[in-house]
Amino acid sequence: MKRAETFRTAMTIDPTLVPFSAPRSYLAFGVHEKDDWWCEHPAGLFLRTLRTSRDAALVAQLVPLGPDGAPLAFGRYEERPESLRAECAAGAWEFVFADPATVLARADRPGLGLRIDFLAEGRRFHMLFPVPAPGAAAPDGTLLLANVNKNRAKFLLAARAGRFVPDDARWDGRDALAMAANLVAGGSGGAAPRPLEFSLRECTGDWDGAVPDAPFDAARAAQAAGFESFLARLPAAPPEFADTRAAAAHLLWSFSVAKAGFLGRDALLMSKNWMDRVWSWDHCFNAIALASGHPDLAWDALLSVFDLQADDGSLPDFVSEGAVLRGFVKPPVHGWALRRMLAAHDFGDARLAEIYGPLARWTRWWFERRDRDGDDLCEYDHGNDSGWDNSTAFLHEPPVETPDLAAFLAIQCDVLADLARRLGRPAAEAADWTRLADAQIAAMDRELFDADGRPLVRAAYTHETFSPDTLLLRMPLLLGDRLPARLRAPLLADLESDKFMTDWGYATESPASPHYQWDGYWRGPIWAPSTLLLCDGLRACGRPDLALRAAERFCRMCAKSGFAENFDARTGEGLRDRAYTWTAAVFLVLASELRSRKSGS
């Protein structure tokens, strides 16, 4: 696919892949091209909202107008952390955020107008109408109010230079059948024409009568300074990855949203494309990356899901501002993640006490609710529960018992034992957690590996076993010295060979497997979480050389292809959602570790 031309800068941000947004904002700009699956509208620049379902996320299309009022097309873009510049044949429009709810837009020359087409077709209860400026008795074309019910918001349009002319606001007695307005020259009396400028403000309730007055240049400078401050506090990377580090930081900086709805604190979304949720293991990798430089943000990232913990101790599959899904869970990697976070920053006893109870309830939920056959091994009811949705570990009908789950639970119990001792809880409490960890490792050794140390998947009730070629079964390496030697050696041999390793890192399904698919989600592509988990496991098992090799290849892949949801294991090309925060987070962690290991520090 030929993409819209993008300016080349030291840190290239492609708006066809990476939405333009700002910290804590639910608004994002994206460039749609004609073969994008998610948009049925003509190619162009769109404003989106993260407050509603994906099929209703588009707010408006922005179309440049030439001096004669004829519609043109944007074809060249420059995205930076602080601004988005969109060029057409007659000039350029630039967009900046004054605050999370307010966008400022300015043309670079007189005569260049803009059509704002609110996408209300086929929806109900929409309105677009002029309102008087504060203190005025009647509208004068300065202010328009758009009530876009499908987006669950009102939007105030305020002309700073020029005036708004409703172009298509047909009304049928109940609904606006179309909602579009043109910003055109006018209202300046005898003064020389000046470039047009306006603001757009999201109002989640009724409009409060305020009109944004932040100066355009000051807003742009403030955003630039905010990003530079955020970037400066992140761990350093090797010099060859300096630009990639900045691009990764940009995602973690701009993909947060403010506390609202089901989100009890500011949260970092997985993406501001279509994977615009907080999934209950993805958030852990973001928290790890933020722990050393932005500990408060890291803590919020970790707790954002625990805030929605159910009474029985389970965590939701995902949470967003408008929805919580509890039909699935995600794997218990939270103890491992907390241990990684504590290695980067001491969060203090008060915060550790805050997480101890929720983490303990989450751990007990597995033993109480997901060991239905009472064999000391917990079960995944579906691939989604593992985070590896369609892995070949689930080719046989679940529930199934897998060694990764036993390893995660053993680590989580060990971490809880450490927390119990640090927080001065009764000695028996820490001992109980250690006994649970020991029991998990013993049951895993006994039931989920064969006599040759080959990892197995076991059907929960029939106890039939099979051994697919999925990387999922190699996760017990995270146990390090806690993993029996007879199991450690075969797993390390798999990762030392080319069974899973490609030029870009470890494939999630062996490329030699009959089930391998280049774009098979968890049946082949390289993913960030599996890479970081395995790098940790390899170091824990005394093979830092293999961890270094995997980290270098993953970082090179991100430098080449950005921070996609996952990657073609053979070509390194990005797949699916092309701007994903846990990928950026894992890059930052691994790049920092590469720098430390290469420098010997």
Give 4-51 as a 3 state SS string.
Answer: CEECCCCCCECCCCCCECCCCCCEEEEEECCCCCCCCCCCEEEEEECC
- What whole-number percentage of the chain has pLDDT above 90? 83
Q: Residue 127: which pLDDT band, with cuts at 50, 70 and 90? A: confident
Note the pLDDT of residue 33: 75
Residue 296 and residue 278 share a domain:
yes
pLDDT score recorded for residue 150:
76
Contact (Cβ atoms closer than 8 angstroms) between residue 443 and residue 458: no
For 376-390, how does the pLDDT look when each residue is reduced to its tens digit (9 = 90+)?
A: 999 999 999 999 999
Q: Residue 385: what are its φ and ψ, rounded to 5°? A: -65, -25
Copy the structure tokens of residue 157: 């349009």
Q: Residue 273 to residues 22, 30, 321, 581: CA-CA distances in angstroms?
A: 14, 8, 15, 11
Q: Where are the alpha helices (DSSP H) in 145-293?
A: 216-232, 242-254, 282-290
The number of domains in the chain is 2
56 and 82 assigned to the same domain = yes
**Residue with more model confidence, 62 or 2:** 62
Domain end residue (candidates: 207, 224, 241): 224
pTM across the whole model: 0.95
**One domain for residues 252 and 194:** no
Average pLDDT of the chain, as a whole number: 93
User: Within this chain, do residues 9 and 146 fall inside the same structural domain, yes or no?
Assistant: yes
Residue whose pair of structure tokens reads 């000039």 in the numeric block: 91
Residue written as tokens 């047009």? 196
Confidence of residue 221 (pLDDT cuts 50, 70, 90): very high
- Whether 514 has a pLDDT exceeding 90, the answer reads yes
| 181 shares a domain with 112 | yes
Confidence class of residue 8 from pLDDT cuts 50, 70 and 90? very low
Q: What is the pLDDT of residue 186?
A: 74
Q: Is the pLDDT of residue 231 over 90?
A: yes
Which residue in 202, 154, 161, 159 sits closest to 179, CA to CA?
154
Least confident residue range of 40-49, 260-269, 356-365, 535-544: 40-49
> How many whole angstroms separate alpha carbon 15 and alpha carbon 372?
48
Tell the residue number behind the tokens 């030392």, with chain if given: 496
Helix or strand (DSSP H, E) at 79: strand 76-80
The number of beta carbons lying within 10 Å of the beta carbon of residue 299 is 20
What are 166-175's pLDDT values in tens digits? 876 666 777 7
Average pLDDT of span 111-138: 84
Long-range contacts of residues 342-350, Cβ cutoff 8 Å, at least 24 apart: 344/288, 344/291, 344/292, 345/291, 345/292, 345/295, 345/298, 347/295, 347/299, 349/422, 349/423
Same domain, yes or no: 187 and 242: no
Is 112 found in the same domain as 259?
Answer: no
Q: Is residue 315 predicted with pLDDT exceeding 60?
A: yes
Mean of pLDDT values over 30-52? 79
- Name the residue among 281, 283, 291 with its Cα closest to residue 257: 283
Q: Are 192 and 283 members of one domain?
A: no
Banded pLDDT at 61 (limits 50, 70, 90): very high
Burial of 374 (0-12, 13-18, 19+ CB in 10 A): exposed
Query: How does pLDDT run across 322-370, given as a tens digit for each residue?
Result: 999 999 999 999 999 999 999 999 999 999 999 999 999 999 999 999 9
Among 200, 224, 248, where does a domain finish? 224
Say yes or no: 196 and 241 in one domain.
Answer: no
Q: What is the mean pLDDT of residues 49-54?
A: 82
Average pLDDT over residues 451-477: 97
pLDDT value, residue 40: 67
Last residue of a domain, one of 195, 224, 253: 224
pLDDT at residue 551 greater than cutoff 80: yes
> Domain of 153?
5-224
Dist CA 118 CA 156 (whole Å) = 12
**Mind listing the pLDDT tens digit for each residue in 425-452?**
999 999 999 999 999 999 999 999 999 9
Is residue 253 located within the same domain as residue 396? yes
> Is the same domain home to 180 and 258?
no
pLDDT band at 193 (very low <50, low <70, confident <90, very high): confident
Work out the average pLDDT over 450-470: 96
* Distance in angstroms (rounded) separating the CA atoms of residues 601 and 594: 10
CATH of the domain at 255: 1.50.10.10
pLDDT of residue 252: 98
Q: Has residue 178 got a pLDDT over 80?
A: no
Q: Which residue type does 268 have?
A: L
Residues 194 and 266 in one domain: no
pLDDT at 529 over 80: yes
Span 234-248, pLDDT tens digits: 999 999 999 999 999
User: What CATH number did the domain enclosing 41 receive?
Assistant: 2.70.98
